[in-house]
Structure 1
Amino acid sequence: MDRRTLIKHIGGVGAAAALAGCSVQEDTGDGSGSSDGESGGSTDSQGPAGTATAWYSLSESELAVREEVLSTFNEQSQHTIDGADISDLKKKTSSAIPAGEGPQIFDWAHDWAGNSYEQGFVVDQSDEVSVSLDTFTETAQSAVQYEGNLVGLPYGAETVTPIANTDIVDSVPESVDEMVSMMEEHHDPDNGQYGLAYPFDPYFTSAWLQAFGGYYFDPSAEEPLGINSEETVRGLQFALDNLAPYMPNDPNYEPQAAAFAEGNAAFTINGPWSLSGLNSNDISYEVFSFPEMSDGTPSPYTGISVWYFAKPMADGGAAAKAGRQFTEWFVTNEDHLLNLANEQGAIPVLSSLVGSSDLPAEVQAYSESAGQGVPMPSDPRMGDVWGPVENALVSAFNGDATAQKALDKAAEQIRSNWE
C-alpha cells in the first residue's frame, strides 16, 4: 500500500532530536558486529571504506529525523550513506534496480517483500548479516523473510489507531458506540467542525472491514480473496453507517488529516507518522487503542518497517558492506529506536525494547492496536488488491455504489488482474 506517497507532504516540520550515544561498530562478518547504544566506535580494520545509497519516502517531519540519523552514522563510521527521499519509491525502484542504477538499501513496509524478491529487486543476505533474527519479535522475523530468504532487517511496527483532540472532548471513549455518540455531539460541518477526520482508503479502513471476520486477501485461506465476502461487506457497511456521516466530504488523506491537524475534528484515526505534525501544530491530543465493539473487534492492518537489501548488495563490495553496516546499526541501536518512539510514535520490534517503561504512552496505545491487527500480506498477488479496493471504498463513500456492489466490482477486477 503506497500510504507514504499520500502522507509525504502532510507532516509538519519537526525538530530532530539529538542522537548522542548512537555509536557505530564495524561489521566483522562473524556475528560480533551487531551494535546497540553501548557499542564502541568504528575502526578502519575491515578493508576500504564504502559509500552506499539509501532510498526512502518520508513525510516532512520524518525526513528531518532520518537526515539527522544519516549524519550521525556518517560522522562515526568509516563508511558513508548517501540518502535520497524518493517521491514515487515503487516506480523508481522498479525502473532503476533492473537497470543497475538502484540503491544498496531502501526503506518500506514488509508487504513489498514477496513481489520485490520475485522480480529480483531484493536479494538474500542471510549468510552476510551479523545480527541474529532472534533479536527481533517473531512477527518482525517473519516479515523480513520470503521463502527462506532474508531480504532485509526490521526496525519498527506501525498501524493506525484513534486519536482524540482533548481540547474538544473531555475523555477518550471506552466503546465504539460511545465514540460515535461523541462524534455526533461535536459534528458541525456548517461551521467547519467534524466529529471525525479519517482517510477512507484500504489501509486505514481495514480495522472495520476486518472487524467481523472479513479479510482482503489471505493466501493461506481456502478462498484467498475475501474482499466481497459477507463479513467484509458487513465491515464496510459499518464504517459507512457509523463513521462516514461525521467526516469531511473528501475521503482522501490530505483533507482528512488536515481537518484534525488544524483542530477542526474531535477524533481522527491515523498512524504514528502523523504525531510530529500534531506536535508542531500544538494540537492537544491523546492516542488510544481501538475501543471495544459490541459484536466485533477492530482489526487494522499492521506493517513492519524494513530496510530492504536491494540487488546491488549481491556484489559484496565496499558499498554493500556500507549498506549492511548501516542497516545493522539502524535496527539495533536502542538510543536511536527510542528516539523514533518518542519523536514519531514508532513501535519497536527490537525484543529488548518491547514493553519497555521508557516507551511513551502513545507508543503503548499503538502497540495495543497493533496487537489486535493483521499483518499485511507480503504475497506478490496482494499488489493487485490495493487499487481496486481503494476505488471501491471511494465509490461507496461517495454513494455511487452500495457496499456489496462496490466490493463485488473490486473482486471481479482483482481476479481479472490475477489472470
Structure 2
Amino acid sequence: MERRDVLKRIGALSATGAVAGCLGVQEQGEGDGTDSSSDDASGDGTADDGSSGDTSTGTESGPAGSATVWYSLPDTETQAREQAIESFNSNSRHTIDGGDISDLRKKTTSAIPAGQGPASFDWAHDWVGDYAQRGFLVDQSDQLSVGMDQFTEAAAGAVQFEDQVLGLPYAAETVALVYNEEYVDEPPSSVSEMVSVMDEHHDPSNGTYGLSYPFDPYFTSAWVQSQGGYIFDPEQDPMLGLTNDATVQGLQFALDNFKPYMPNDPQYEAQAAAFADGNAAFAINGPWYLATLNEKGVDFGTAKLPSVDGGEPNPYTGIQMWYFSTGMEDDATAAAARSFIEWHVTNEDLVLQAAEEQGAIPVLSELAGSDELPSNVKAFSEAVQQGVPMPTHPKMNAVWEPYTSALIKAFNGDTDAAGAMEEAASTIRSNWE
C-alpha cells in the first residue's frame, strides 16, 4: 500500500495546537548514572551496516529489557527498518522484536485493550487524540532522555495531547510539486505560471497530460485551505469549516486550475501512473513517490508548491512517530522501548540514510531543511513549512469519508463546489450526533 493511501485512510486526525513545552534532557536518564557505554556490545559504537550503533541517549541502569514494536511499511522501507532493529540489538543490552503488521489500526485496536499489544508502534500522528482518549497510550514525559526541543515545533506538537508526550517523531510527510525535466526546465513560482506550462503539454488524445494529481482530502488540502479557509479546526467556531466561503473558494480554485489538465480518473493509482510513465509535465505527490520515479527512470525535480494569487498553499502534513503504548507499563519493557525509540529518532546517520533512500523528511531541528539533505528531499522539507499538521482531534474521524465522497462528486461534475461541501458537512454533523 502506498504511504499516501495509509494517510488517506486514517480516521482520527486532530489539530495539534501549541507545543505543550520543551522537555529538558534528563541528566540521569532512567537510573543512577551508570556509564551508558556499557550498552555498546561491540565496543566501538558502530553497526556493521554503516549506521551508528551507539544506542545511548543518556545514562541508564537497571535490568535489560525486551520489547515488541509494530509497524506497517512499504516494501521499499521494510529492509531498512529491519536493519535498524538488528543494529540496535547488536549494540544494546536491550532487545527489540519488530513486527510488520498489514492492518495496523485493526490489530492495535483489538490487541492493546486485551493487553496483547506492542510496547510501541509506528504510524502517522493522526491517531494520537483518538487513541489517547481510548486509553491506549501512556505519557512518558517524565521518563525521556530526549528533549522535545530537538525536533521541529510542528513535530513536537504532533506527538503531544493534553499536555502529555505520547510518542516521539522521526519524519514528516506532505505533498510537493514534482516536474518532468524533459518537459519543464525549472519549476514555476506561481500557479498561473504552472497553468501556462500545463496548457502547453496537455494533449489527452496523444496520452499526455499537464498534471498528475490525486484528488482527495489530503492532496487537495493545500488549495482548499489556501484562501484562508479550513477543513477542520477544534480551535475555531465552528470546528468544521467546509462550508466557509473561503474554503469553498479554495476548492473552486483547485477545480478551475488543476482539473482541466488531469486524467479523468481522480483516484491515486490512475493519477500517479501518468507521471511515473513519463506522460505528464507535473505531479503533486508525496516523498514516498520518489522511489517509484527512481525505479521507473523518470528524470524529475521537486519544488515546494507554487504561490497562489490572494493566498498561500497550506497543505496537510503528517508526522511519522513511534507511539508509547500501554504495553510499556512494565518497567523493563518500557526501558527497552524508550531506548530504541530515542536512538532511532535522534540518530542522524539513520535520518540521513532514510532521506537518501526513502525520501524521508527529517524532523530533527539540526537536519530539517539542511544542505546535507538530497535536493529532492530538501524541497519536500521546504514544502512541510508551507503546511499544517493534520488534525488529531477524535471528531476528525467522521470527516474523511464524507469529504472524500464530496470531492469526487465535485471533480466528476455531479455537483458544484458549494453543493459538495454542504452535502459533506451535513453528513459529518449527523455522524457527530
TM-score in terms of structure 2 length: 0.86
Instruction: Name 1:14's counterpart in structure 2.
Output: none
Q: Which of 300, 303, 306 pairs up with 1:291?
A: 306
**Contact kept? 1:29, 1:129, Cα under 8 Å:** no
Number of residue pairs the alignment of both structures matches: 400
Q: Which of 308, 317, 322 pairs up with 2:336?
A: 322
Instruction: Name 2:355's counterpart in structure 1.
Output: 341
Instruction: Name 1:13's counterpart in structure 2.
Output: none
Asked whether 1:351 is paired with 2:338, we answer no
**Contact kept? 1:6, 1:253, Cα under 8 Å:** no
Offset from partner CA, 1:231-271 (integer Å, 9 cap, x none): 11111111111111211222111221222222222111111
Deviation, 1:5, is 2.9
Which residue identity does 2:212 align to in structure 1?
Answer: A
Q: Which of 112, 129, 135 pairs up with 1:114?
A: 129
Cα 1:194–1:210 change in 2 (3 A) is same
Alpha-carbon distance between aligned partners in 2 of 1:344 and 1:50, rounded to the nearest angstrom:
30
**Contact kept? 2:170, 2:319, Cα under 8 Å:** yes
Alpha-carbon distance between aligned partners in 2 of 1:5 and 1:141, rounded to the nearest angstrom:
22
Q: Which of 78, 82, 85 pairs up with 1:70?
A: 85
Alpha-carbon distance between aligned partners in 1 of 2:99 and 2:277, rounded to the nearest angstrom:
30
Deviation, 1:108, is 1.5
Alpha-carbon distance between aligned partners in 1 of 2:261 and 2:414, rounded to the nearest angstrom:
18
SS at match of 1:337: helix
Alpha-carbon distance between aligned partners in 1 of 2:105 and 2:313, rounded to the nearest angstrom:
29
Instruction: Name 1:5's counterpart in structure 2.
Output: 6
Alpha-carbon distance between aligned partners in 1 of 2:129 and 2:31, rounded to the nearest angstrom:
26
Q: Which of 192, 198, 203 pairs up with 1:177?
A: 192
**Contact kept? 2:355, 2:374, Cα under 8 Å:** yes
Offset from partner CA, 1:370-410 (integer Å, 9 cap, x none): 21212211211112111111111111112222111111111
**Contact kept? 2:7, 2:124, Cα under 8 Å:** no
Cα 1:327–1:213 change in 2 (3 A) is same
Asked whether 1:248 is paired with 2:249, we answer no
Deviation, 1:300, is 0.4
Instruction: Name 2:205's counterpart in structure 1.
Output: 190
SS at match of 1:272: coil
Identity of aligned residues (%): 58
**Contact kept? 1:4, 1:58, Cα under 8 Å:** no
Which residue identity does 1:363 align to in structure 2?
Answer: V
- Unaligned 5+ runs, structure 2: 10-27, 40-44, 46-50
Instruction: Name 2:400's counterpart in structure 1.
Output: 386
Asked whether 1:79 is paired with 2:80, we answer no
Alpha-carbon distance between aligned partners in 1 of 2:270 and 2:101, rounded to the nearest angstrom:
23
Asked whether 1:90 is paired with 2:105, we answer yes
Alpha-carbon distance between aligned partners in 2 of 1:194 and 1:217, rounded to the nearest angstrom:
32
Instruction: Name 2:15's counterpart in structure 1.
Output: none
Matches within 5 A, 1:20-419: 28-29=30-31, 40=54, 46-316=61-331, 318-419=332-433
**Contact kept? 2:243, 2:418, Cα under 8 Å:** yes
**Contact kept? 2:222, 2:387, Cα under 8 Å:** yes
Between 53-62 and 142-151, report the one with greater CA deviation: 53-62
Which residue identity does 2:329 align to in structure 1?
Answer: A
Offset from partner CA, 1:184-240 (integer Å, 9 cap, x none): 221222232221111111111100100101111111112211012111111111111
**Contact kept? 1:165, 1:263, Cα under 8 Å:** yes
Cα 1:351–1:3 change in 2 (3 A) is same
Cα 1:71–1:313 change in 2 (3 A) is same
SS at match of 1:401: coil
SS at match of 2:96: strand
Cα 1:241–1:101 change in 2 (3 A) is same
Which residue identity does 2:119 align to in structure 1?
Answer: Q
Alpha-carbon distance between aligned partners in 1 of 2:387 and 2:228, rounded to the nearest angstrom:
12
- Unaligned 5+ runs, structure 1: 9-25
**Contact kept? 1:5, 1:87, Cα under 8 Å:** no
Cα 1:125–1:205 change in 2 (3 A) is same
Which residue identity does 1:54 align to in structure 2?
Answer: V
CA RMSD of aligned residues (A): 2.6
Which residue identity does 1:249 align to in structure 2?
Answer: N
TM-score in terms of structure 1 length: 0.89
Alpha-carbon distance between aligned partners in 2 of 1:189 and 1:397, rounded to the nearest angstrom:
17
Deviation, 1:364, is 2.3
Deviation, 1:33, is 6.6
**Contact kept? 2:316, 2:387, Cα under 8 Å:** yes
Instruction: Name 2:22's counterpart in structure 1.
Output: none
SS at match of 1:83: strand
**Contact kept? 2:29, 2:143, Cα under 8 Å:** no
SS at match of 2:220: helix
Offset from partner CA, 1:148-190 (integer Å, 9 cap, x none): 1110011122211110011222222121111112112212222
Deviation, 1:320, is 2.4
Alpha-carbon distance between aligned partners in 2 of 1:30 and 1:231, rounded to the nearest angstrom:
56
Which residue identity does 1:393 align to in structure 2?
Answer: L
Deviation, 1:361, is 1.7
**Contact kept? 1:4, 1:57, Cα under 8 Å:** no
Cα 1:137–1:5 change in 2 (3 A) is closer
